[in-house]
Chain A
Amino acid sequence: KAGVTQTPRYLIKTRGQQVTLSCSPISGHRSVSWYQQTPGQGLQFLFEYFSETQRNKGNFPGRFSGRQFSNSRSEMNVSTLELGDSALYLCASSARSEEETQYFGPGTRLLVL
């Protein structure tokens, strides 16, 4: 089975722009979670989607949003980018819930200038 894939792998944006990141889960997995990883804060939970519905959301501002499609692929969007949004954005999938083993993708490294 193919693993979790994320595109793009690297991205450079400037302040004020918006960005969309994509995540394709393992085939058959319906739960997709997003995380932000920075040297200063470590890993932080953004949100989790299941069957096209957001089930849980972390403590991030409304500039961070996401969605999930009927094929379980997911996208996250960050609007009005700030320098502090520079981070590694990780996506993870599991079969049904976040309580099961999660499989992470390689991440998208975003640099905001």
Chain B
Amino acid sequence: KNQVEQSPQSLIILEGKNCTLQCNYTVSPFSNLRWYKQDTGRGPVSLTIMTFSENTKSNGRYTATLDADTKQSSLHITASQLSDSASYICVVSPPGGSYIPTFGRGTSLIVHP
């Protein structure tokens, strides 16, 4: 069964600090791995999309890395801001025409002033 595990489940950091969120998956092969940010009460917003052949992708202060050999991805947030407080969700999609993505349960990040 395809699984996506995220850690930690929740994280509290101080404003200005960096943090790294982890995503381990069993989906193989896969087409792409995405990271989303979801604010409370809102729909997810796409942060990065990486294909299996990419190692890193950046979007401003957000940098995602991918190690297809170990089936691990991480999302690094630099110089955190209060607005970074949200749930961060990792999603892995299989290749080909059968698009049934597998979602992680998310990491809840709280940034304190």
User: Which of A12-20, A61-69, A77-85, A103-111 touches B?
Assistant: A103-111
**Partner pick for B43 among A45, A97, A101, A104, CB 8 A cutoff:** A104
User: When A42-B104, A43-B103, A55-B99 are in contact, do A92 and B93 touch as well, CB less than 8 Å?
Assistant: no
Q: How many residues of A contact B (CB 8 A)?
A: 22
**Partner pick for B97 among A55, A92, A106, CB 8 A cutoff:** A55
**Interface residue? A58 (CB, 8 A):** yes
- Give the shortest distance, in Å, between A66 (CB) and chain B (any CB): 15
What is the number of contacts between chain A and chain B, taking CB atoms within 8 Å? 48
Instruction: Please indicate the chain A residues that have their CB under 8 angstroms from the CB of B98 in the complex.
Output: 56
Q: How many residues of B contact A (CB 8 A)?
A: 21
Q: Are A98 and B99 in contact (CB under 8 A)?
A: yes
CA distance A101 to B91 in the complex (A): 12
Q: Are A101 and B49 in contact (CB under 8 A)?
A: yes
Instruction: Please indicate the chain A residues that have their CB under 8 angstroms from the CB of B93 in the complex.
Output: 98-99
Residues of B within 8 A of A (CB): 31-32, 41-46, 49, 89, 91, 93, 97-101, 103-106
